[in-house]
Structure 1
Amino acid sequence: MIHKTKRIFVILLIAAYGSGVSASQKSGHARWGDKNDIREGWDWSLPPGVNPHPYSGFITWNDSKDAAVTIKGIHVNWRECNPREGTFDFSKFKQRIRDAKAQGLKVGLHIQGTVESKVPRWVLTKYEVPVFDMPPLSENQPWRLRNAAVWKPGVVNAFNEFMEAFRETGIAHDDDIVYAYIHCISPSRGEELWMRPVDADIYEQEGGLTPEIFRNWLLSRIDTMCEAFNGVEYKLAWMAKGPVGPKRYAEVTEEPVNYAFEKGCGIRNGAIDNLNLLWDEPAWGVTIDDGYCVLDYDHPSLRAGRFRGDENEEYGKGWTWRFVDTCYDEYRHRISSLHGLQLLQDFQMVSPESLALNPELNEYVLKSQGYRRDTSIDAWVYLREAETQRGTVKNLERWVVQRDAPGSMSVPAAATSFPRPGDPENMDFDARRTDVENGQNGLLFGLDPVFWNTPAPCLLKVTYIDNEKIRWTVEYSQRSGRKRAKVIQTQGDGKRKTITLHLPELAANSIFSGNMDFRLISEGTGDLTVNMVRVIKLQHRVVSRP
């Protein structure tokens, strides 16, 4: 059976320099990208007619009226829907779905039943379920949590009966239901899936948990959810990126994430906004190679349009207990948003604070999620360098790479303060530059051949820091040979700027050092400091993946 959310949608977009005569030409108005220009700050613009991918979106759990929000996350409370043994009432839940649809929103489901307040009272009483007061994540955490021992056989059976009743409603097959988390257990409020050593000790001492019981419970939870979503397992999101818990638990919980993938599920992470995570994670199909993140496009979670998402929400004063100060929010939000795109995350849970931080970037992310290298209208690289839990990581790369080679050995630049736990003096580098003093006057870039597979016109947007007066240009290839764009004269005023260059034909035939496709060159004695390079197709047929 083919579902509407998985059908192929075809959108024809002949942008600015496409063949034929555009509507803007007929009307006498200037075409998008019709001339080279320089603007201060970032440039997140896309051609008119580029719309969000049908299977992607921004998620909210509240009643946000922000136009960027396309999906309402609805929490399904086991206690509310199963008030008595053998009694199941989904009427309130169904009404919430109808209300979301009436607002023009798709729906995501959070079927919860691990926190004590979500477990039916009759279950807690009948099976004498232990309940745990969870130690806070930090002393200034503004909320407290009580979890239940949901691995107890009686609780497992009762939950399975509840999910069977849910399956019979047919809600999972509603085309407007686009995802559902496989909720488990955590010391955080969202019934996520992670465990500290202190949590394991409490669960063992007060709830009889063992590593084997925990592993079996996780596998059972996957089976139960997949049965409830039989035929649309792609909507389900596993909640952990690998083994769970301290060593004795991690040693026996390598299997569940792969088991979820085998059953057809996708994956969700909960901390893209942390900035220090998801750089070398096999469950996400991402590894580090010589300091650069590399994606495995054959990874199971990237197949067949499965849910692949995250939560980019922890900004504002309400999160200073975790992130020190709101003064770092703008930088953290920018890097986190682009890192999500780099990882091909198609869904982001957002908050009013994250939506307010950078509306132009948010719109760009919303319109970019869901597309892949064979369907995207643009590709980019964000030049940077930072220390992470997995060591030094360079750049954020989405189908454009920057690599060093003799004559173009880059240097990290634009040091940016970003305190980390245990390292309050940490500095990230938010750009890279040439090193003319040492004979390195270029920055080299390569295009993914699936994204750029034939010579064609493009727009090249280069965001740079105008911190000294220099002359620079772009060297690239056409079928007829090497070409140079016009020379840009900077002002040295210290401002961040983005220049848009129209290249009438980019061959991308790997003729530069290191098999790269084009090169930014500083002419003279000064250095060029670059934040981001973006390549936009000007002849583009957008075909949404299934």
Structure 2
Amino acid sequence: MAYTDSSRRSRSGLTMRRLAAIAALMAVSLVTACASPAPAAPTPPAANADGPAFEFLDAGSGVEIREGDDWSLPASARPAPNSGFFSEEASVSDHVFVRSVDLSWRQIQPRQGDLDRGATGEAQGLSFDSLDEQLAGPDRFWMRIFASGENWAPEWVADECGVSTYGPDYDGERHLPIWDECVWGHLLDSYRRLFVDAGLAADPRLAFVYVPGAFTWAEFDYEMVTAAVDAGDLDLQTYLAWHDHAWHDLAELFGEHANKLVFTGEDYPFGPFGADDDLLAAQAVDAGLGIRNGITELSNFHLSEAPAYGSHVLPNGHLALDDTLPVHDGTRIVAAENECYNDCGYETDDPYYAVRQSNLKALQLRTNWIYVVPEPSYFAEYPEHWDWVRLSMGATAATAADAWAALRDAEDTYWEADEAGPIGDGSWVDRPWVRNLERWLVQVDEPGSVAHRSDDDVHSEVLESDNGTAHEGLRTDAAGGDTGFVFELDPRFEAASGACVVKVTYLDAGARSFTVDVGEWSSPPVERTGDGVWKTATVAIPPGTLAEHPSFRVSLAAGADDLTARFVRVVRAE
């Protein structure tokens, strides 16, 4: 795919987002409501701060219907180990417990040799307190070492290695070639002094560290790699020779704490080497590192085929994610960053939709950590949704309180014209359209239950043109013989063995009812009024029924009008 200006902005959201984040956090100490209107939310109870902040909406006598989306979870739900929100500053009231520690390489090693723990520093227009000052206190933190910038790196490194800089980048900074073996060797020595000799890698307060510390905003995009290739100073062989050992170097350095390393690159980077650099992020993960993406706000774009996360497009357009891979073993970091909605140069008149979809995408990728800034992330406006996200991150099929399928057809424009990659063999039937976002619950087309694209809720170019068009919701086609939707539940979803509810978010349009059918059992009818409002029906399922029959159908009553549904959840109930 061509490296367009819009693609560059998509990949580099951190530039403006970090400045916006710092400004917002300096301006306010608590979340304040944004100007855009939002429905009033229930006041969360003051009880157990770790469990759900809102009451679980159960099924009462068998079926309960409520307007809007339903994110409620049972009172027993708890955050997964090694999961949470992180930001520049902690905000306990928002469950943001992990703050940043930012340093420049020049700051901590202005001269070759021992670390300088008392010096202040700067990078990206930001000023950093000394290492010792930032490490004071018992609270948890995550780290970035701003390393590659001409004004971030120690002056002696360029002299010692005899290297030139490349740039300027889109933020005006020139960068040292981090792939140069001399530069890399000195950076590894600094990492060793800081994280091994000074004990930071083993410090239980350190949640994780972004690596390798390049380029703009210390995220590993390919703008400077491309600049070096264009200058004739870098070829594929040299780049791969460094890349093949770089991540093993870091993993070996951190030893038993290598799970705290987070590679900041991406699958299919916008780089100069064509298909030869497509899968290099997966190579970093294979070396033992975690992974993060900085632009999941563009929830439809570029992230469907994501081997580093184990996510792949199937021929039918569904996404299959292998959560048995080591990167999802619960010890590593799988991160996303969701705060740029009406910020960082982006705009939307429907922030709820943008927030909802980006978080669904992040959870489909099985993230266990999400970077947020409470105000631009709309924590105050959508507290029930963010509480659900908090209690969903890092869960497994065996521990999750719910399994779900977001029903939709959305185009991933990254693959629109690019036939390269493992899905470039023509097998993807409706390329570049992706069917659904699913997490342990899969919608299955069967005779009489084929789902069809719905035009009831269509969104185009949200935040950016790259984000394409999404049809939220799938519909039946009773006239064509398709009178329901079939769902298969992952057998590992242990909650199915107990009392469960199925929640169906649907458009209340048309006449007559639908039911939820499991084996020989059918629910009471869910009656429609035809008022055109999105609603969620909660249907009680007899205990153990889904464990015995891990497949169910949402079925139209005889003669009923077509139904559009956009979100289906199976939730354990108490």
Q: Same fold (TM over 0.5)?
A: yes
Counterpart residue type for residue 115 of structure 2: F
The Cα of 1:107 is off from its aligned counterpart by: 1.6
C-alpha separation in 1, matches of 2:174 and 2:492? 49
Match of 1:180 in 2: 209
Cα 1:163/1:249, change in 2 over 3 Å: farther
**1:181-200 correspondence runs (5 A):** 181-186=210-215, 189-196=216-223, 199-200=224-225
Between the aligned partners of 1:318 and 1:63, the Cα distance in structure 2 is 20
Once residues 371 and 266 of structure 2 are traced to their aligned partners in structure 1, the CA distance between those partners, rounded to angstroms, is: 18
CA contact (8 A) 1:68 1:363 kept: no
- The separation in 2 between residues aligned to 1:222 and 1:454, in whole angstroms, is 40
8 A contact 1:457–1:503 mirrored in 2: yes
Aligned to 2:83: 56
What do you get for the CA RMSD once the two structures are aligned?
Answer: 2.8
CA shift for structure 1 position 528: 1.5
Structure 1 residues 65 and 125, CA gap change in structure 2 (3 angstroms): farther
Query: How many pairs are equivalent?
Result: 484
* Distance change >3 Å, CA 283–CA 262, structure 1 → 2: closer
**Structure 2 gaps, min length 5:** 1-54, 119-129, 416-431
2-structure distance, mates of 1:61, 1:334: 22
Find out whether 1:533 has 2:574 as its counterpart: no
The answer on 1:133 being equivalent to 2:160 is no
Alignment correspondent of 1:226: 251
In structure 2, which of residues 276, 295, 317 is the aligned counterpart of residue 291 of structure 1? 317
Task: Choose from 233, 239, 242 the match for 2:264.
Answer: 239
> Which of 419, 441, 450 in structure 2 is aligned with 1:400?
441
Query: Is 1:113 paired with 2:147?
Result: yes
Q: Contact 2:211–2:263 (CA<8 Å) still a contact in 1?
A: yes
**TM-aligned CA distance change 1:382 to 1:90, over 3 Å:** same
Match runs of 1:14-29 below 5 Å = none
Residue 512 of structure 2 aligns with an amino acid whose one-letter code is I
Shift of 1:353: 0.8
Q: State the shift of 1:294 in Å.
A: 0.6
Could you say which residue in structure 2 is the equivalent of 1:24? none
Match of 2:552 in 1: 517
Residues 400 and 422 (structure 1 numbering): CA distance in 2 closer, same or farther, change over 3 Å? closer
Correspondence for 1:9? none
1:296 counterpart letter in structure 2: D
SS of 1:45's equivalent? coil
The runs of 5 or more residues in structure 1 that have no matched partner are 1-29, 137-142, 540-546
Residue 161 (structure 1) shift? 2.1
Matched, 1:306 2:344: no
CA contact (8 A) 2:502 2:570 kept: yes
**Distance 1:60-1:365 versus aligned 2 partners, 3 A rule:** same
C-alpha spacing 1:483/1:281, structure 2 compared with 1 (3 Å)? same
Contact 1:385 1:430 in 2 (8 A): yes
CA separation in 1, counterparts of 2:296 and 2:289?
20
- 1:413-449 CA-to-partner distances (Å, cap 9, x unmatched) read 2242222799699531111111122222111111111
C-alpha deviation, 1:125, in angstroms: 4.5
Cα distance per residue 1:110-169 (max 9 Å; x no partner): 122012232123334554542333353xxxxxx433322333444223212211211201
- 2:94 is paired with a residue whose SS is coil
**Partners of 1:425 and 1:169 in 2: how far apart?**
44
Match of 1:337 in 2: 359
Residues 193-233 of structure 1 deviation map (CA, whole Å, 9 limit, x = unaligned): 2325xx44531465822323322333453244224422111
Contact kept in structure 1, 2:500 and 2:542, CA below 8 Å? yes
Aligned equivalent of 1:368, options 392, 410, 414: 392
Q: Distance in 1 between matches of 2:278 and 2:345?
A: 31
Identity %: 27
AA at the equivalent of 1:170: G
Q: Is the 8 A contact 2:143 2:209 kept in 1?
A: yes
1:349 counterpart = 2:371: yes
256-265 vs 485-494, greater mean Cα deviation: 256-265
Q: Is the 8 A contact 2:290 2:327 kept in 1?
A: yes
SS in 2 for 1:165: helix
Secondary structure, counterpart of 1:122 in structure 2: helix
Between the aligned partners of 1:149 and 1:344, the Cα distance in structure 2 is 33
How far does residue 307 in structure 1 lie from its aligned partner after superposition?
1.3
Residue of structure 2 equivalent to 1:495: 533
Q: Distance in 2 between matches of 1:425 and 1:181?
A: 26
Alignment partners' CA distance in 1, 2:175 and 2:294: 19
Residue 450 of structure 1 and its aligned partner are, at CA, apart by 0.9
Query: What does the per-residue CA deviation read over 1:180-203, in whole Å, with 9 as the maximum and x for residues that have no partner?
Result: 1222544xx32222325xx44531
Q: Which residue of 2 aligns with 1:13?
A: none
Shift of 1:65: 5.8
CA distance in 2, matches of 1:490, 1:218: 58
- 2-structure distance, mates of 1:65, 1:191: 26
**Counterpart position of 1:15:** none
Match of 1:271 among 295, 302, 327: 295
Write the letter of the residue equivalent to 2:542: P
| 1:468-507 aligned within 5 A | 468-477=510-519, 482-507=520-545
Amino acid corresponding to residue 73 of structure 2 in structure 1: L
Moved more, 389-398 or 262-271: 262-271
Aligned match of 1:150 in 145, 153, 178? 178
CA distance in structure 1 between the partners assigned to 2:437 and 2:448 by the alignment: 22
Task: Give the counterpart letter for 1:491 in structure 2.
Answer: T
SS at match of 2:208: strand
Question: Residue 410 of structure 1 aligns with which residue?
Answer: 451
Greater shift, 399-408 or 418-427, is seen at 418-427
2:285 and 2:340 map into 1 onto residues whose CA distance is 28
Q: Whole-Å Cα distance in 2 between the matches of residues 245 and 496 of structure 1?
A: 39
1:459 aligns with 2:501: yes
SS state of the match for residue 70, structure 1?
strand
| Structure 1 pair 80–126 and aligned structure 2 pair: CA distance change class (3 A) | same
**Following TM superposition, by how much is the alpha carbon of 1:383 offset from its aligned partner in structure 2, in angstroms?**
0.7
SS at match of 2:354: helix
- Structure with greater proportional strand content: 1
Q: Which residue of 1 aligns with 2:17?
A: none
**Are the structure 2 counterparts of residues 118 and 219 from structure 1 closer, same or farther at C-alpha, using a change threshold of 3 Å?**
farther
> Residues 95 and 458 from structure 1, CA distance in 2 versus in 1: closer, same or farther, beyond 3 angstroms?
same
Aligned counterpart, 1:7:
none
1:270/1:418 CA distance change after superposition, 3 Å: same
The question of 1:449 aligning with 2:484 is answered: no
